[in-house]
Structure formats: structure tokens, C-alpha cells
């Protein structure tokens, strides 16, 4: 067999050392050693070779807008939504597209090759929807971009949100979104979950709802989301994003809730960077962490990914498109410190997130798409610890980003001259 490209001698996340043979856009062989022949070689000796990073929760219509027209003074979710409301009328098609494409460049450089972005449909112009549909087409050769129709101001609370959600889906947006905790009443929130799930069922679409993103222990829309998923036969196609209220819920109630979520096969997408930043802002001390119950859900067999949510926008003043930052924060806030849990955090921002998004073509296996990342780390735990350089990023069989290894040369009196590397595996 003659390959177009061979990624040579890398360490896979499961610890195997192997050559990965690529023909066209696909992985066609993973063996201890492959004959080079005329293939282009990427030398990954001593480095981790991983499936691409995947972000199942992002807002690409808002990204890189930090400071326009002002910053979020209180740091709360609600001021962020109000600030986004001030920014929305200022948006232009060109500006949304330019910022989104710039962000996609960042993403590629970090090995982030699949993104699910919510797009606000509460602007009657649907300008961001149209801009991001164009971006989706333009980045398709290297990024899987999934769009979610997101009625940011409330499906019923905003007068045209309902019809705009339908319009956005008609234009080709992939996933049905919602925000039940932002409707006027709990009852309206419940009703919105039902109607949005029915829309998804009729159209054969997935659902991903901002759900219970609040410190209110009585915000229980996840219960309705699990119920509707079960009733409408949407198992495996529905995700609840954030679920932060679960942090504050009564423990007895949670002991009933977790099996219901598991039974409905609803996935959970906490967003650790944003949850730890925005939640608990109304508390004095002790101050709640406001991230959902990650380990407890996993123990019940619930699929849990980690999303990034925001980079430099009305809700978050930092961010780098690095899903390892997300895993690192998630590991800390959820106290996932055992070796198995640390490795799981890496798996969550790669394979688990891909499964949540229904991207069966991603993964380091023969027959899957040749999209992968070479990292300056020896194994997944070290990758989370270091958040190291992405030395080479390959999308659909093509090298799309390369970066030299970073090293520090030490010259300290009394210490041997040395090259300081934090990567211990080689």
C-alpha cells in the first residue's frame, strides 16, 4: 500500500506507539511500522498523536467582540445578555464573518477541528445566521462547523424568536436550541422545551439547549428535557448545556433526576471556564462553584463533554480556542484528580465531544477521517498538565498548521547550562 502521508512513531492516547498511514482524506493503516515509500512523513517520535479537539458549545457570532460597545461590569450572565443586546444592532454581516473566520484560524492552530456554535436568532435580520452559514461552507475543508438556532432572548419572551427559529432552521441551521431558564416563567420555560423538542422531532434534528444556566436550585428544565427526549424518541440526539443549577439542587431530587437523564440518553455539556466565571456572582461566602455534577453524572452512565462557550465576548474576557484550557479548568472545578479522571478529561474534549455532536467520522481508527493533532506531550494526562504546543495539525489528510517546539535555554549561576523542557516523556 502506498500512502500519501505517514505520521511516524507517535504515541496514541491509549499508549501504543504506531505509524498512521493516510491516503487521501482517510486513515488507512495504524501499525507499529509502515513502509515510507513516496509518502510525505510527519515525524511524531516521542509525541502524543491525538484525534482533533472538538468544542460542542460555542458562540461564534459573539466571539472576538470584547469591549464592543463596552465591557461587562458586573461579570454576570444577565449583564452579558444585556450587553449582547446592545451589540446586536451594531453587527454587520462582514464583521461577524471576519471575526468568525479569524477565530477559526485560531482554532485550527490549536488542533480544534470541530465546533458546535449557537447562533442568536433574535435579530429579525438573521444576519449572524447568514454570515455563519457562509463561514460553515468556507471552513468545511478543515473544520466541521455545526450551527444551533439559539433564541437568546427567549422563545416566547422575545416577540419574533419563535418564527425566527423556524426561519433559521429553514435556512439550513443544523440543531435546535433554547433557553428555558430565561423565559418569563418556569411554565413558559417548560413549554418552550416541549415545543422545541417537537420541532426537532418533526425535522429529524438534534437538540442542544442552554438549560438551567442559573444558581437557582429550583430551575429544573433538565427534567422536562429528559422527559420530552424520552416521549419523542430523541434518545442520543439531545444535549443539555450548562446545567449549572444542578450544582445547587437538593441532593434527594438529584438522586431521582440522574437516572432519568441517563434513561433518556441526554448528554451534558458543562462549560467550566464560563461556569466558574459567571455563576455564584450573587453569593457572598461560601460562594458556589456553579459547575454541574460531572463525576456524578458520569457514574450514572451519562455522557458528559466539556465546552468552551466564549472567547473574548460580552460574557468572557479571556480565551484562546484551546480545548486543553477547558479540560484543565474542568479537571480542577470538578475535582477530577485521579489518573483515570485526568485522562478522562482529555477524552472528553476529543472523543466524547465528537460523539455528542454525532461526528462518527472523527477518531484515531482505520477508516476514519485523517484529522489529527501532534502534541508536544507524552500522554493525555501530560497534555492536560502542559497544554503544550500543537506541533502539527492535520485536517482531512492535509497538514494545516505546524509550530516549532518551545524550549527555554537556562543560564543560571551554579546550575548546569540546560535546555528546560516540561515534557518528561522523552
CB of 174 or CB of 309, closer to Zn ion: 309
Dist. CA 240–CA 178, nearest whole Å: 10
Q: 315, 293, 319, 313: which is closest to 304 by C-alpha?
A: 293
Closest separation in Å from C-beta 189 to Zn ion: 16
Q: DSSP 3-state assignment of 89?
A: helix
Let me know: does 166 contact 202? Beta carbons within 8 Å.
no
* Residues 119 and 132 sit within 8 Å (Cβ to Cβ): yes
Q: CB nearer to Zn ion: give 274 or 381.
A: 274
Cell of 25: 482524506
Grid coordinates representing 185?
416563567
Nearer to Zn ion by Cβ, of 200 and 370: the residue is 200
Cell 441526554: give the residue: 266
Q: Comparing C-alpha atoms, which of 259, 245, 266, 307 is closest to residue 116?
A: 307
What are the residues whose beta carbons fall under 8 Å from the beta carbon of 247, sequence distance 6 or more? 215, 279, 288, 289, 290, 291, 292, 293
CA dist., res. 186 & res. 170, Å (int)? 28
Size of the site for Zn ion (CB under 5 A): 1
| CB-nearer residue toward Zn ion: 309 or 325 | 309
Q: How many CB atoms lie within 10 A of CB 196?
A: 25
Site string for Zn ion, 304-343 (x = CB under 5 A): -----x----------------------------------
The alpha-carbon radius of gyration of the chain (Å, integer) is 22
Specify the residue, 228 or 309, whose C-beta has the smaller distance to Zn ion: 309
Q: Are strands 144-150 and 175-176 parallel, antiparallel or unpaired?
A: parallel
CB of 343 to Zn ion, least distance (A): 27
Give the nearest distance from C-beta 309 to Zn ion in angstroms.
5
* Contacts for 256 with CB less than 8 Å, ≥ 6 apart: none
Catalytic residue flag (residue 424): no
Smallest distance, Å, CB 325 to Zn ion?
16
Query: Cβ 131 to Zn ion, closest distance in Å?
Result: 18
**CB nearest Zn ion: which residue?**
309
Q: What are the φ/ψ torsions at residue 396 (nearest 5 degrees)?
A: 50, 45
**DSSP secondary-structure letter at 58?**
E
- CB-nearer residue toward Zn ion: 57 or 369: 57
Catalytic residue among 213, 223, 228, 389: 213
Site for Zn ion in 354-413 (CB under 5 A): none
- Per-residue binding string, Zn ion, 260-299, x by CB under 5 A, is ----------------------------------------
Residue 87 or 399 with smaller CB distance to Zn ion? 87
Nearer Cβ to Zn ion (239/386): 239
For 211, 214, 250, 252, 295, the CA distances from 256, given in Å and listed in that order, are 18, 20, 10, 7, 16
Residue 144's CB: how many other CB atoms inside 10 A? 21
The stretch among 226-234, 258-266, 278-286, 301-309 that binds Zn ion (CB under 5 A) is: 301-309
The distance in angstroms from the start CA to the end CA of the chain is: 31
Smallest distance from Zn ion to CB 311, Å: 12
H-run or E-run covering 100: helix 93-109
Residue 57 CB, shortest distance to Zn ion, in Å, is 6
203 Rama class: left (phi>0) / alpha (psi -120 to 50) / beta? alpha
Q: How far is the CB of 177 from Zn ion (least distance, A)?
A: 9
- In angstroms, the CA 127 to CA 304 distance is 32
The footprint of Zn ion (CB under 5 A) covers 309
Catalytic residues: 213
Amino acid at each position: 500500500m502506498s500512502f500519501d502521508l505517514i505520521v511516524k512513531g507517535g504515541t496514541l492516547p491509549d499508549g501504543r506507539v504506531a505509524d498512521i498511514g493516510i491516503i487521501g482524506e482517510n486513515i488507512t493503516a495504524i501499525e507499529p511500522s509502515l513502509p515510507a515509500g513516496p509518502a510525505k512523513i510527519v515525524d511524531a517520535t516521542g509525541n502524543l498523536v491525538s484525534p482533533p479537539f472538538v468544542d460542542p458549545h460555542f458562540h461564534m457570532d459573539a466571539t472576538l467582540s470584547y469591549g464592543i460597545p463596552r465591557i461587562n461590569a458586573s461579570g454576570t450572565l444577565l449583564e452579558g445578555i444585556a450587553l449582547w443586546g446592545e451589540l446586536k444592532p451594531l453587527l454587520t454581516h462582514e464583521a461577524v464573518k471576519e471575526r468568525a473566520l479569524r477565530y477559526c484560524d485560531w482554532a485550527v492552530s490549536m488542533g480544534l477541528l470541530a465546533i458546535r456554535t449557537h447562533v442568536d436568532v433574535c435579530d429579525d435580520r438573521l444576519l449572524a445566521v447568514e454570515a455563519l452559514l457562509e463561514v460553515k461552507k468556507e471552513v468545511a475543508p478543515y473544520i466541521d462547523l455545526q450551527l444551533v438556532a439559539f433564541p437568546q432572548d427567549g422563545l416566547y419572551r422575545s416577540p419574533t424568536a419563535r418564527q425566527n427559529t423556524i426561519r433559521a432552521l429553514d435556512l439550513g441551521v443544523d440543531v435546535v436550541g433554547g433557553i428555558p431558564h430565561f423565559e418569563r416563567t418556569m411554565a413558559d420555560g417548560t413549554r418552550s422545551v416541549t415545543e422545541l423538542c417537537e420541532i426537532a422531532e418533526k425535522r429529524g434534528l438534534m437538540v442542544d439547549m442552554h438549560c438551567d444556566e442559573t444558581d437557582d436550585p429550583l430551575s429544573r428544565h433538565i427534567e422536562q428535557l429528559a422527559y420530552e427526549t424520552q416521549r419523542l424518541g430523541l434518545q442520543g440526539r439531545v444535549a443539555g448545556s450548562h446545567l449549572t443549577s444542578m450544582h445547587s439542587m437538593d441532593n434527594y431530587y438529584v438522586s431521582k433526576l440522574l437516572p432519568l437523564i441517563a434513561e433518556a440518553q441526554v448528554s451534558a455539556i458543562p462549560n467550566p471556564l464560563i461556569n466558574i466565571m459567571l455563576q455564584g456572582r450573587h453569593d457572598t461566602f461560601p460562594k458556589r462553584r456553579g459547575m454541574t455534577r460531572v463525576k456524578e453524572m458520569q457514574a450514572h452512565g451519562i455522557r458528559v463533554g466539556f465546552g468552551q462557550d466564549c472567547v473574548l465576548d460580552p460574557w468572557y474576557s479571556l480565551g484562546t480556542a484551546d480545548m486543553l484550557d477547558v479540560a484543565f479548568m474542568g479537571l480542577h472545578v470538578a475535582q477530577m484528580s485521579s489518573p483515570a479522571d485526568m485522562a478522562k478529561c482529555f477524552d472528553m474534549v476529543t472523543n466524547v465531544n465528537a460523539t455528542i455532536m454525532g461526528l462518527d467520522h472523527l477518531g484515531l481508527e482505520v477508516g476514519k477521517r485523517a484529522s489529527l493533532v501532534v502534541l508536544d506531550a507524552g500522554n493525555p494526562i501530560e497534555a492536560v498538565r502542559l497544554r503544550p504546543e500543537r506541533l502539527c495539525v492535520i485536517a482531512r489528510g492535509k497538514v494545516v498548521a505546524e509550530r516549532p517546539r518551545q524550549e527555554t535555554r537556562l543560564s543560571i549561576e551554579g546550575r548546569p547550562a540546560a535546555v528546560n523542557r516540561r515534557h518528561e516523556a522523552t
